[in-house]
Structures are given as C-alpha cells and as structure tokens.
Chain A
Amino acid sequence: MGAGHAHNLYRPGDSPLHRLPPQCKLVAVVVFVLVVVSTPREAYWAFGVYALLLALAAGVGRVPVGYVARRVVVEIPFVVFAVALPFLATGPKTEFLGLTVSHSGLLGAWNILAKGTLGVVASILLAATTNVRDLLLGMERLRMPQLLVQIMQFMVRYSEVIAGEMGRMRVARESRGFQAKDVRQLPVVAKSAGALFIRSYERGERVHLAMLSRGYTGTMPVIVDVRANRAQWCAAALLPSLAVVACAVAWVG
C-alpha cells in the first residue's frame, strides 16, 4: 500500500526537474524548508516570494496546480489545529473577518498554515518529479547509513507483497462468514495480524537466504551510481539561494 501511494505521488515526465539528480533535489528541498521555517512570521511578503518560487519550480517540472492541490490534503489535520488556534489562544484581541480573535493566536495560525503549506508543496514537487527508487539512491549518495536505505528499499519492494497477503487473508476470513462489525471481532483481526507478522518474518528469512546464495556479505553493491555535476548542483541551488536572499531581507528589514 505504501508503495502504491508512493507511485501515486510520482508523475512520470522528462522535465529539467525530473532529470536533476535526486541528491541535488533532496538537498534543495531540505534547505528551502529550513529557510522558510526560519523566516519571521510577520514578513508576509517573503512567504509570497517563496510561493512564487515554488510555482516557478512547478512550472519547470510541468506539475499541474490541480495535481499539487489534491495532494496538499495531507495537511488537513494540521490546518484544523491552526484554525482553532485564534479562538483558543489568550492575549490581546483583534478583529478578523468580523470575528474577535486572539492576536497572537491569529499570527500563530498564519505561521503554521503558511510554513506548513510551503513545506508540503515543496515535498510534493520533489516526490512528483523523483521516483522512490531515485530518492533512495539520492539518500545513499548523501551518505545516509546504508542500513536505513536498505530497510526503506525493502519496504518499498515488499509493501505490495505484504498488502497482497493481507488482502488474501481478509478475503479468506470473509469467505467463511467473518464480518468485522464491532470490537468483539477484534481478537480475530489481531490473530490475523500476528499471522501476517510471522509470515513476513519468515519471508524475510527466505529473502536473506536468497541474498546469501548470490554472494551477499552485508553491504549492498552500488549498482546504479547517480552522479551530479557542478551545473546540476548550481541549478538545484537556485531555489534555496533565492529563498535565503528573501529570508535575509526579511530579517534585516
């Protein structure tokens, strides 16, 4: 299922953004998000600049607005909290859209909403133009511990296999008249989950056996080497550097 979602995020294409090596894009997004987060919340114009930068990036990557908008919904739980903030926070009151709300709460809500949305949109653009495999290669390239990369790689590979197994177990349960109506059925579901865990564990052992049989000694060989040249790093640096300029101006001004 996880892999299914991951595939949904990726939008195959051949834009300059798609062609950029994954490690450049990863660094660019992380730096961009850090810059956004460290911008003073009252510098409203700076957030406009960030949004504009992301819009330009989306244009370069040929990612449609609707595509991004549909995926921004993951943010909703945080938005709910942000909307509640002006009513819950204490301190000096202010008028906003005809309502009397807390001034600091309103600013806090804006802060969460603006920074959160910018971060989410940046991540969506990264995911839309980089497939999961390349993201992992990029992380490996950025010296993320190989063990973690391997774990994520196996998760991507096997999430569908395990989801398929889970689906077959559910069909088998229901084919014999089982219906999960209320908590009394929970023990059955729990036992299925336990069986699934044991099956996955055993599969892990078999996979390990297959790996040993092909000469695995503990480290994954580097088969696909993604290299980035200076021009590619410079291109990727464009987004965070422009953001840094905006942030610096916001602090000074």
Chain B
Amino acid sequence: MMGRMADLNTGAAADAGQAKADALPPSLDVAGLAFAYPDGHQALFGVDLRIARGERVALLGPNGAGKTTLVLHLNGILSADTGTGQGVVRVAGLEVAKPNLREIRRRVGIVFQDPDDQLFMPTVREDVAFGPANLGMRGPELDERVGEALDAVGMREFADRPPHHLSFGQRRRVAVATVLAMRPEILVLDEPSSNLDPASRRELAEILGGLDVTVLMVTHDLPFALELCPRALVLSGGVIAADGPTRELLGDAALMQAHRLELPYGFARLDCDRCAPAAFGAPGVGTGAAGSCEHGREHG
C-alpha cells in the first residue's frame, strides 16, 4: 500500500509527508465504507482511501457521487448510527466512533461551503475561539490560539468585526481559521473556491498552499485542484473510481468523460507540457485555446 502511494505522490510537500508518514499513522484511513440513508438511498458502496500526513488531496466527482456523505463520515456526523452502514474511518490511527467523537472533531477540521453556516458567532474572534473553547481552552492560551489561526489566513486585523460585515472571500478565510484554531490533523474543505472572485480565489490558494497540514479538498474547480493538490481521488457512484496524480487524471479524457468531469474552456490541453507547464502553478493562460499548440492527441 505504501509503495503504491509513493508512486502516486508527486511534489515536494507530498514527499515530505511521505517521509513523516513512515513513522506515523496516515492522517486519514477509510476502509470499506458503505452507507445508506434512513430513506434507503445508498450513497456509498465501499470506499477505500488513505491519505498520508502532509498530503494535499483533491476529491473530485460529479454531483450526487457521495462526496458530502463521505465528508460527513470523517468526523462522525454520519455513521452507521444515523443510517445503515459499515466500514471503518480512522483519523491518525483513532477510529471514528462515539467515545472518540470529541477528539475526532478536533482532529478533523471541516470547512463548509457557505461561510454563513460556519460563522455563527457575533464576532470573528469569538467564532475562531468557539472550537478551542469547546475543547476547554480559556484565557491567554485561547487568545494565542485565535491569533495564530487568524494570522495563518491574514485576518487578524478583522478579529473584532462581526462576520456579516466582511466580504465573501474574507468570510471564507475566517471559516478556514475557525478550524485551524483546533490544530486539526486534517483540513477538509468543501468547495473552497466556490463563489470567490479570481483575486480571492488566488489569495485562498496561496493561504492553503502555505499551510503545514494534511488537506482533503472536495471540489469541482479542477484548475484549483491541480494548482494545490498533487494527488486526486475520483469518487463516482459511491466508490473511489480513480486515484492518482491530479495531472494524470485530468489528462485522461476517457476517465474524465466517464465521471462527468470537465475542464473549463481554455484548459483542455493538460496532457501537453507546453500548454500546462507546472503542476503547482496556474495552467498557462492564453495558450490553451485549441489550435495554438501542435501537440498530438495520443493521450486522450
């Protein structure tokens, strides 16, 4: 398993994570996870995945593939208790189960899609403090933790503002800070780039790229996934349909088509090194238009 993963990982961050992962349990280990909602709708049919410490992984898949269901299993909001299911989820070696929920919810930081759902306290500071305070933290220690998390997303100067006075991009960044304040083992982001203007999207990418934490990112924004995540998983029909370097997956036209994944207009030639030069940089703009490059189509 480890050998296969080493092959799949590319990029310096993942290599560093791999080196650490040899000694530590993986940040996330999901084995044979199946789940049906009480109304009988089966969302997951046996999901297996493993994310080593320090990795940044994109979770791709069409709408209705079970992505949200999978995410809500990671911190025990959904489990065999709330429907019918089987399988095991482990976060840094600790099984997601009722007696461990408190620690699991510290270890798994979920950033939900709508920051207005995530930010419910009267001020930014109190919202960021909410998680650590639930863990029993108080006083100067709590203040320090809040300051650290707000610094990580560049929002410290907004600490005393009410969330509804911030721009959407700022609210999304504060939402990231609210879970960073719990020093999570793994940061799970649900559609982090949705509804952001290009500048906010870039700022968020810079922030996420600079964090020293394992990341699982659920997204439809494939260029965003490519920019931040060396590895990607495709969840389709309730199973992991593909697992590999993001660039290879996005370049595999047959795979993409089979799972209703599409690159936006202008990004279609990812299989060409000249059109999409770097896995970490933004894909080349303006060179992606059909006909501007003389590469072969043998990849797809």
Contact = CB atoms under 8 A, between A and B. Distances in A.
B133 A161 contact: no
A190 interface: no
Interface stretch (B30-38, B48-56, B119-127, B249-257): B119-127
A154 interface: yes
Given A161-B164, A215-B105, A223-B142, A210 B118 contact: yes
Nearest to A203: B117
A209 B126 CA distance: 18
B120 A157 contact: yes
Contact of A223 (B75, B129, B178): B129
Interface string A109-139: 0000000000000000000000011001000
Interface residues of A, number: 27
A158 B118 CA distance: 12
A94 interface: no
Interface in B120-159: 120-123, 125-126, 129-131, 133-135, 142
B116 interface: yes
Nearest to A214: B131
A175 interface: no
B117 A212 contact: no
Contacts of B121: 153, 157, 223
Contact of A203 (B77, B116, B126, B129): B116
B182 interface: yes
A133 to B, nearest CB: 4
Interface in A184-209: 203, 206-207, 209
Nearest to A132: B122
Contact of B117 (A136, A207, A216, A221): A207
B179 interface: yes
Interface string B85-112: 0000000000000000010011011101
Contacts of A217: 134
A207 B120 contact: yes
A223 B135 CA distance: 12
Given A160-B164, A221-B130, A221-B134, A215 B120 contact: no
Given A206-B114, A215-B102, A215-B105, A157 B163 contact: yes
Contact of B120 (A3, A136, A210, A222): A210
B178 to A, nearest CB: 7
Given A133-B122, A206-B117, A214 B164 contact: no
A142 interface: no
A133 B125 CA distance: 13
Given A210-B112, A215-B106, A157 B118 contact: no
Contacts of B182: 214-215
B105 A214 contact: yes
A55 interface: no
A209 B130 contact: no
A180 interface: no
Nearest to A215: B134
B112 A221 contact: no
Interface in A55-102: none
A51 interface: no
A224 interface: yes
A86 B116 CA distance: 52
A213 interface: yes
Contacts of B142: 223
Contacts of A222: 133
Given A214-B178, A223-B129, A153 B122 contact: yes
A211 interface: yes
A215 B116 contact: no
A215 B123 contact: no
Contacts of A31: none
A23 B122 CA distance: 18
B75 A213 contact: yes
Interface of A: 3, 132-133, 136, 153-154, 156-158, 160-161, 203, 206-207, 209-217, 221-224
Given A3-B164, A214-B179, A221-B133, 15 more contacts: A133-B123, A133-B162, A153-B121, A154-B120, A157-B162, A203-B116, A206-B114, A206-B117, A209-B72, A211-B130, A213-B105, A213-B108, A213-B110, A221-B129, A221-B134
21 contacts: A3-B164, A133-B122, A133-B123, A157-B162, A203-B117, A206-B114, A207-B120, A209-B117, A210-B117, A210-B120, A211-B120, A213-B75, A213-B77, A213-B108, A213-B179, A214-B130, A215-B131, A221-B133, A221-B134, A223-B126, A223-B142
